Structures are given as C-alpha cells and as structure tokens.
C-alpha cells in the first residue's frame, strides 16, 4: 500500500468518526421515549399548575430558557446556585424568575424517572408549554441536552442583549450564538407576554439620550401613561406590560404595537423605528404585524434553533439530581 493510499484510508476513517460524533451530538425528539415515557405529561401538568397560580410564570419560563441558551448553550447553567453564578449577573439578578417552578417540575420528573432527564431539557419543554398555554404556537422540542458543571457569570454579563443596546449590538449578540436577523425579530416577539421593570425603559420617558425630551418614537398617549407609572425618582422596580394590548396572550399584537410606537423597551421599538431597521428588520416587523401565522411559524422555528445552541451531549456534563447544584 502506498503512503497516499493509507493517508486516504485514515482520512476516510476520520471522516466517518466525525460524522458519528456529529450524529451523536444531535438532539432528537424521542430521546426519553423509553427512559421516561410520561415526561411530556408531567412537565405540562406542572407548568399548568404554575400558571394557574400566576399567569406571568409562562413569560418567566420562556425567558429562563432564552437566558440559559445564550450563555454557554442550553445547559441549565443559569440554574446553578453558586456565588459566581449566572443568576447573579446583571441581566438576571432580581429579574429572571421561575427557579422554584423548575424545582417542582424536576421533583416530579425525578420521582417518575430518577437520574434520567436533564434540567436543561426540562427548561426547554417548560418554555414550549408556556408559549402553547398562553395561546401561542407549539413545536416538537428536541431533547438530549445534558447539564453543565459550571456557570459563566461574565458570559451572562456580556452575551445577553440589553434593552439599551442598539440594533447592531443586538444582532451581533444573536450572531455570536448562531442566530440571524429573522431570529432577532421573531424571538423578540416573545415580548408579547410578561412584564418589565421601570428601570429598563424609563430612560425613554423624560430626557432621552440627553436630548431634554422623551424618545420621539414613543406614542404620546402611551408616553404619558408610562410617565405616571414610572415618575422621576419613582420605584425603579415597578413593573408594567411589555404588550399592553394583550398582556397574557401570546399573539402578534407586539408587532402591531411597534408599528404604532407602542413598543415598551427601546430594544423593541428600534426593530421598527431605527434607521438601521429600514434595511434590516422593519419589513419583517410589518409582515408579522399582519400575518400571525407567519409569526407563529417563524417563532417556533427560531425557538428550535435557539434551543439547539451548543448543547452538552453524549458523556459531556451530567444529569443533575437537583437543578441548583452539581452532583457530588
């Protein structure tokens, strides 16, 4: 055998090995079909119970999955109770919610199928169920994620989009985890449910970027409403609806709001009103505002993409027994 033949032989073996690795690292919908056949029903029931107590929990569980996936991938790293944890990073502290609900789901799942189902997969299923139970689309959740051994606080501080970012910054943060402009717009539609605190948009209300006047892209009636809810030196923790028309309902009103200057966060309104939007996101906002089916279909697709960011699979990571701590 010539040297070049053996080179090609090894290359072929290497290629097959890499294909095998790629296939193995792929998430699949049937991952727990035999190991935990009732998983879907258990999570659905627990999410239903949680939102019966507090409807906002649907929004909180959706956001929890987003904030998990953007930092080191969808690996439940956000759930870890460590002092340098992600839950204490700026975008998460006193902001991200739902940890107790995830604990309850995990307890029920563990009693049915111990040591089998990851916390990362539970969060992904809970996010899907939250959207569906709020009137939104559904999709088949890909499964087989494993749980991280570490959290990444600095990753959370730098990787998560801020409501004060411009569209270029937001687009870049999405691109850094493999998501495109369409994902930016469709996933921002998640703000069709849930609340935001005053401190995250009050900069728009009185003296926007040092102009001495409010953000001119904000509808004037909504502006005077918000000025009452969030007065200067008022309670920065006070909350109001991200989608004022239909706060608890997952629908495309969020996009209609943007056409009417009624986006709550600057990062919402710039998808339609900024100069950058004219050549990037504006037309898609317009399409979603008139075509709810298109929004639902794109949102579901983008959620599957977001849910597939850098999962730990195979023998990486672990199946945590308690979602808050790494197994001893």
Ligand X SMILES: *[C@@H]1O[C@H](CO)[C@@H](O)[C@H](O)[C@H]1NC(C)=O
Residue ranges of the annotated binding site are 68, 71, 73, 75, 77, 86, 161, 191-192, 243, 251
- Region binding ligand X by CB under 6 A among candidate stretches 55-63, 118-126, 129-137, 234-242: 234-242
Instruction: Check residue 196 for interaction with ligand HEM (CB under 6 A).
Output: yes
The neighbour count for residue 77, using CB atoms within 10 Å, is 29
Instruction: Check residue 237 for interaction with ligand X (CB under 6 A).
Output: yes
Nearest approach in angstroms of CB 210 to ligand HEM is: 21
Instruction: Check residue 101 for interaction with ligand HEM (CB under 6 A).
Output: no
Which residues does the annotation place in the binding site for Ca(2+)? 68, 71, 73, 75, 77, 86, 192, 243, 251
- Region binding ligand HEM by CB under 6 A among candidate stretches 132-140, 194-202, 215-223, 247-255: 194-202
d(C-alpha 48, C-alpha 51), whole Å: 5
Query: What's the token pair of residue 180?
Result: 């495109």
The helix/strand/coil state of 46 is: helix
Q: Which residues touch 22 (CB under 8 Å, ≥6 apart)?
A: none
Instruction: Pick between residue 102 and residue 200 the one whose CB is nearest to ligand X.
Output: 200
d(C-alpha 118, C-alpha 324), whole Å: 12
- Region binding ligand X by CB under 6 A among candidate stretches 99-107, 152-160, 224-232, 258-266: 152-160
Among 60, 72, 118, 130, binds ligand X (CB under 6 A): 72
Query: What's the token pair of residue 191?
Result: 């703000």
Name the catalytic one among 63, 65, 67, 305. Answer: 67
CB-neighbour burial class of residue 4 (10 A; exposed 0-12, middle 13-18, buried 19+)? exposed
Length of the chain: 328
The helix/strand/coil state of 318 is: strand
Instruction: Check residue 172 for interaction with ligand X (CB under 6 A).
Output: yes
Which residue lies nearest ligand HEM, judged by its C-beta? 194
Of 48, 84, 89, 46, the C-alpha closest to 67 is: 89
d(C-alpha 186, C-alpha 295), whole Å: 6
Q: Is 65 one of the catalytic residues?
A: no
Instruction: Check residue 212 for interaction with ligand X (CB under 6 A).
Output: yes
Of 220, 167, 251, the C-alpha closest to 242 is: 251
Instruction: Check residue 155 for interaction with ligand X (CB under 6 A).
Output: yes
Instruction: Pick between residue 32 and residue 254 the one whose CB is nearest to ligand HEM.
Output: 254
Which residues does the annotation place in the binding site for substrate? 161
Q: Taking CB under 6 A as the criterion, which residues in 83-142 touch ligand X?
A: 94
Instruction: Check residue 267 for interaction with ligand HEM (CB under 6 A).
Output: yes
Nearest approach in angstroms of CB 144 to ligand X is: 20
Bridge partners (DSSP) listed for residue 239: 197
- With beta carbons less than 8 A apart as the criterion, state whether 239 and 95 touch: no
Q: Which residues participate in catalysis according to the annotation?
A: 67
């Amino acid at each position: 055998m010539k040297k070049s033949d053996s080179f090609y032989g090894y290359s072929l073996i290497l290629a097959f090995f890499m294909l095998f690795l790629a296939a193995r690292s792929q998430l699949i919908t049937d991952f727990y079909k035999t190991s935990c056949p009732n998983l879907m029903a258990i999570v659905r029931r627990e999410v239903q119970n949680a939102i019966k107590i507090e409807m906002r929990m649907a929004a909180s569980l959706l956001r929890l999955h987003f904030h998990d996936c953007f930092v080191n991938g969808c690996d439940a790293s956000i759930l870890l109770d460590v002092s340098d944890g992600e839950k204490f990073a700026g975008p998460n502290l006193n902001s991200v919610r739902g940890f107790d609900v995830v604990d309850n789901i995990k307890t029920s799942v563990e009693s049915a199928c111990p040591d089998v189902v990851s916390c990362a997969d539970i969060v992904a299923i809970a996010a899907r169920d939250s959207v569906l139970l709020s009137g939104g689309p559904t999709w088949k959740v890909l499964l087989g994620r494993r749980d991280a051994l570490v959290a990444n606080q600095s990753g959370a501080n730098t990787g998560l989009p801020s409501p004060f970012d411009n569209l270029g910054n937001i687009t870049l943060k999405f691109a850094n985890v493999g998501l495109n402009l369409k994902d930016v717009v469709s996933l921002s539609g998640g703000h069709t449910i849930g609340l935001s605190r005053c401190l995250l948009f009050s900069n728009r209300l009185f003296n926007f970027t040092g102009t001495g006047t409010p953000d001119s892209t904000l509808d004037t009636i909504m502006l005077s409403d918000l000025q009452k809810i969030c007065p200067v030196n008022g309670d920065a923790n006070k909350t109001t609806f991200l989608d004022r028309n239909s706060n608890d309902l997952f629908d495309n009103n969020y996009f209609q709001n943007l056409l009417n200057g009624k986006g709550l966060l600057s990062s919402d309104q710039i998808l339609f009103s900024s100069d950058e939007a004219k050549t990037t996101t504006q037309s898609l906002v317009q399409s979603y505002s008139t075509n709810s089916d298109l929004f639902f279909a794109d949102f579901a697709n983008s959620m599957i993409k977001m849910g597939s960011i850098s999962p730990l699979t195979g023998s990486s990571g672990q199946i945590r027994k308690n979602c808050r701590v790494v197994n001893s």
